[in-house]
Amino acid sequence: MYPRQFEYSAPASLDEALAALANNPAAKVMSGGMSLIPMMKLRLFSPAVVVDIGKIGGLDSIEDRGDHLAIGALVRHVATANSPLVQQYAAALAKAASLTGDPQVRNQGTTCGAIAHADLAADQTAAVLALGATMVAKSTGGTREIAAADFFVDTLTCALQPDEILVELLVPKAGAGEGSAYTKLGRRGGESDYAVAGAAAWVRKTNGSVDAARVALTGVGSKAVLAAAVGDALVGSDGSATAIEAASAHAAEGVNVLEDLHGSVEYKTHLAKVYVQRALTAALT
Amino acid sequence: MEVSLTVNGQAVTSEVEARTLLVHLLRENLGLTGTHVGCETGYCGACTVHVDGTPVKSCTMLAAQVEGAEVTTVEGLANGELHPVQEGFWERHGLQCGYCTPGMIMTAAGMLADNDNPSEDEIRHGIEGNLCRCTGYHNIVRAIEYAAAKMRGDEPAAPDWEVV
């Protein structure tokens, strides 16, 4: 299975890559290629030009910048998953990266690539929503920051413009009393494969009570979404098992749950509650 | 376009199209048919090779992406004698039809290079990206356990069929 023919370039610098995108409205950015290449092979998508950013130096680091971590465009899933910094300060993202794809996919695919791809059942999309991360997009016209909450537009559609590259992901570092977690049911059972349903949770506790919480769902609708009603219900509580259960009941509130091959609306609504409860429990532990 | 890379220790240059996949470069241009093409969608792992020492799926990479890289295929794994993983698959009958075997072996070799003492659970999750349609996973896991023991310098456990 070959993709349709296309023009390939592998610029050595970010500036060259941005110029290539600016000059070719039909160009598509590729980092690891773990989603793009299968789509091209299946001919679901046939870009005229592929700009491979994989040869650009300096984009593969995870940096501690004080109050946040910066994850570069070419940081592989395996690097995100195994990073002591991500594990300590953004546990939901490390966990979501560790459950993305399979070992070979994690060796080649990138965190930023998966986020920009915006699959409706991806793992790290939910994690960045719950963690309140920020995407840094660059084009020849400049740099802009996009909040995770504004980033996921629809299935396979994010807020990036065709001439922009997601150059890094900024994740706030968990401080005292803060915790995050990600849990899911995979399509192949357990936690394997894309999420039938998955939930990421971030919670902050001050003086024994929850004063901030953000929960996000993946796999249950057309895109990863914030389950805002859960956070609202949990804030002000003591974060006990009872409070978590009560808040989790709001998991699908305001969320457009959709049926797919892997489950009915009723089933996915049920899973949303179950996995939100598990994610909150883990985040508060 | 031309790509230049190292395959199993030998420098090669080959003429490819932009859309040529790494697995086709290996099989069709270089005649290394040990790497198999299975599902074509990135699920089955039969095409697994090492790029710069890391297991990846060669049907889901462009040949152009490996410009300058070091690629190892199943043909390049033995070094005068069988790699411990190859020996394990031989000794513990880690195959039935054999179609998934090259990919399983390359994935296992990569896994054991990082951790030569994996639990059974870690082995099973480690081969999550490789499908065996004969469902011969049991002996594949035993084969990898055999290889891990060998790599640690331990005596491999007796084969299941000798345990009563």
| Cα→Cα distances A156→A56, A123, A129, A222, A224, Å | 25, 14, 16, 9, 10
> Considering its fold, how many domains does chain A have in total?
3
Task: Give B101-149 pLDDT, tens digit per residue.
Answer: 999 999 999 999 999 999 999 999 999 999 999 999 999 999 999 999 9
| Structural domain span for residue A40 | 7-51
CATH code of the domain in which A68 resides: 3.30.465.10
A89 and A11, same domain (yes or no) = no
Nearest CA in chain B to A105: B56
Confidence category of residue B41, pLDDT binned at 50, 70, 90: confident
Flag whether A190 is in a domain. Answer: no
CB-based contact, B123 to chain A, within 8 Å = no
CB-based contact, B135 to chain A, within 8 Å = no
CATH code of the domain in which A262 resides: 3.30.390.50
A203 and A257, same domain (yes or no) = yes
Q: How many CB pairs under 8 A join A and B?
A: 78
A167 and A66, same domain (yes or no) = yes
Minimal Cα–Cα distance from B22 to chain A, Å?
A: 11
Flag whether A183 is in a domain. Answer: no
Cβ burial, residue A216 (10 Å; 0-12/13-18/19+): buried
Nearest CA in chain A to B68: A55
CB-based contact, B55 to chain A, within 8 Å = yes
Mutation target to probe the B interface, by most B beta carbons within 10 A, among A104, A107, A188, A191 is A104
Task: Give A81-90 pLDDT, tens digit per residue.
Answer: 999 999 999 9
pLDDT > 80? residue A21: yes
CB-based contact, B114 to chain A, within 8 Å = no
Q: Which pair of structure tokens corresponds to residue B61?
A: 């990479």
Query: In chain B, what are the domain boundaries?
Result: 2-77, 84-152
Nearest CA in chain B to A33: B61
A159 and A80, same domain (yes or no) = yes
A109 and A140, same domain (yes or no) = yes
Flag whether A21 is in a domain. Answer: yes
CATH code of the domain in which A23 resides: 3.30.43
ipTM of the complex: 0.96
A11 and A66, same domain (yes or no) = no
Flag whether A180 is in a domain. Answer: no
Which CATH number describes the domain made up of B84-152?
1.10.150.120
Task: List all residues 6 or more positions away from B119 whose beta carbon is below 8 Å from its beta carbon.
Answer: none
CA–CA gap between residue B139 and residue B148 (Å, rounded): 14
pLDDT value for A19: 98
CA–CA gap between residue A218 and residue A215 (Å, rounded): 10
Nearest to A8 among B18, B21, B42 (CB): B18
A90 and A165, same domain (yes or no) = yes
Confidence category of residue B7, pLDDT binned at 50, 70, 90: very high
Flag whether A80 is in a domain. Answer: yes
pLDDT value for A1: 78
Q: Do A8 and B1 touch (CB under 8 A)?
A: yes
Confidence category of residue A162, pLDDT binned at 50, 70, 90: very high
Flag whether A182 is in a domain. Answer: no
Nearest to A33 among B51, B60, B107 (CB): B60
* pLDDT cut 90: percent of chain B above it: 94
pLDDT value for A71: 98
A157 and A209, same domain (yes or no) = no
Minimal Cα–Cα distance from B34 to chain A, Å?
A: 18
The residue-averaged pLDDT of A38-50 equals 96
| Chain A residues with beta carbon closer than 8 angstroms to that of B18 | 5-8, 50
Flag whether A73 is in a domain. Answer: yes
Q: Do A108 and B61 touch (CB under 8 A)?
A: yes
Task: Give A170-199 pLDDT, tens digit per residue.
Answer: 999 999 999 999 999 999 989 999 999 999
pLDDT > 90? residue B22: yes
State the fold for domain B2-77: Ubiquitin-like (UB roll) (3.10.20)
Beta strands A27-30; A157-158: pairing state: unpaired
A134 and A215, same domain (yes or no) = no
Nearest CA in chain A to B106: A104
Confidence category of residue A245, pLDDT binned at 50, 70, 90: very high
A28 and A88, same domain (yes or no) = no
pLDDT > 80? residue A18: yes
pLDDT > 80? residue B164: no
pLDDT value for B42: 87
| Chain A residues with beta carbon closer than 8 angstroms to that of B107 | 103-104
pLDDT value for B40: 79
Nearest CA in chain A to B49: A104
A43 and A91, same domain (yes or no) = no
pLDDT > 90? residue B44: yes
